[in-house]
Amino acid sequence: MDEFRDTVARVISQPPSALPDPLPPTGTADEELLALELSEPPPPTRSRPALEPPADPFADEAVRLPGSSGEHLLQCAYGTEKRARRFYDDQVLDHLNPQMKEFIGRMELAFVATADAGGECDSSLRAGPPGFIEVLDDHHLAYPEYRGNGVLASLGNISENPHIGILMVDFVTDLIGLHVNGRARVVEDAELRAVHPALPTEFDRGRTPERWVVVQVVESYVHCRKHIPRMAPVLRQRSWGTDDVKRKGGDYFEAKGTPRPWHRVNAEVR
């Protein structure tokens, strides 16, 4: 155990941007989805120190366990490996089962986590009417991307690093959540419709997707209801289709005009 603790101390002292190599995905795409198979991410474009992945204490298992070497190491260091193994065995799947598909089909929002090639992270919110996230099959789902602020932070990260984490939460009725971790690819709307012609053609408020994020499922598992608050949806007035900053709340935190290294005051953005 002292050896595990020494390894933990060595790992957590490393820069947070130095991440271990990604795990290979599980499952095989159906034939009609081969065109959407995910390529390996390009090499990092930023110069950062490389981190040697820690030795996985469960590496001798006949089948590799879900999760990272780092989490397995900490489970041993903190004495939680039995609880973790029970969770892996009871709750973690490498696909979407019928109950998960039904859950996704009624979700109206999702929290999306991505990271660039160097491990710099971003989290974002995606929302829409129930069913805006499309389940393509047991191993793939897709969510639409509409016109936004033009930054494309999530899509930019995916273009460098396909790993993605999605959390969907039912705050209203069942008070339960679903994690879907996997590998993502950005697919243009017309390209995805050529493979999946049954995708919806009518969208909320007339918005049409510019493109989709297709996710190959690697892990899917429950988020327990213990700390999920109950919320009630209420009617509200929304200003759709506007670029008005006040109506969108775009400067709620009064950041506009605050000096920062990249700031160009009164300069035209080219």
Q: Which residue has the tokens 């490498």?
A: 94
Read off the pLDDT of each residue in 94-117 and give the average, rounded to a whole number: 97
Give the torsion sign (CA, 78, 80, 82, 84).
negative
Query: 233 vs 186, which has greater pLDDT?
Result: 186
Residues 135/96, Cβ–Cβ less than 8 Å: yes
Which class is 98-223 in CATH? mainly beta
| Residue 218, pLDDT score | 97
Burial 185-221 (b: 16+ CB within 10 A, else e): bbbeeeebeeebeeeeeeeeeeeebebbbbbbbbbbb
> Looking at residue 25, what is its pLDDT?
42
pLDDT digits (tens, 9 = 90+) for 25-38: 444 445 554 444 44
Q: What is the pLDDT of residue 267?
A: 54
| pLDDT at 27 (0 to 100) | 44
Report pLDDT for 255: 83
Between 13 and 109, the more confident residue is 109
Contact between residue 21 and residue 119 where contact means Cβ atoms under 8 Å apart? no
CA 192, 194, 198, 201 dihedral sign is: positive
Q: Is the pLDDT score of 71 beyond 70?
A: yes
pLDDT band at 126 (very low <50, low <70, confident <90, very high): very high
Q: How far is CA 115 from the centre of its chain?
A: 9
Tokens of 14: 């490393």
**Position 64 confidence tier, pLDDT thresholds 50, 70, 90:** confident
> Comparing 216 with 232, which gets the higher pLDDT?
216
Domain residue ranges in the chain: 1-23+62-92, 98-223
Residue 135 has pLDDT above 80, yes or no: yes
pLDDT above 80: residue 160: yes
Over 50: is that where the pLDDT of 99 sits? yes
Tokens describing residue 58:
């469960």
Which stretch of 120-124, 188-192, 241-245 has the lowest confidence by average pLDDT? 241-245
Position 183 pLDDT exceeds 70: yes
Cβ partners under 8 Å of residue 248, min gap 6: 239, 242
In a 10 Å sphere around its CB, with 0-12 CB exposed, 13-18 middle and 19+ buried, how is residue 40 labelled? exposed
Query: Taking the CB of residue 124, how many other CB atoms lie within 10 A of it?
Result: 14
Percent of the chain whose predicted confidence (pLDDT) is above 90: 54
Confidence at residue 249, expressed as pLDDT on a 0 to 100 scale:
67
E-strand stretches of 102-195:
109-115, 121-127, 134-137, 140-145, 163-170, 176-188
Per-residue confidence (pLDDT) for residue 45, from 0 to 100: 53
Averaged pLDDT for residues 53-64: 81
**pLDDT over 50 (residue 22):** no
Q: What's the pLDDT band for 11 if we cut at 50, 70, 90?
A: very low
Mean pLDDT of 7-21: 48
pLDDT at 93 over 60: yes
3-state secondary structure of 29: coil
Give residue 208's pLDDT: 84
Q: What is the pLDDT of residue 77?
A: 94
Task: Output DSSP code: residue 146.
Answer: -
Who has greater pLDDT, 141 or 256? 141
> Whole-prediction pTM value?
0.75
Q: Compute the distance between CA of residue 184 and CA of residue 139 in angstroms, rounded to an integer.
A: 12
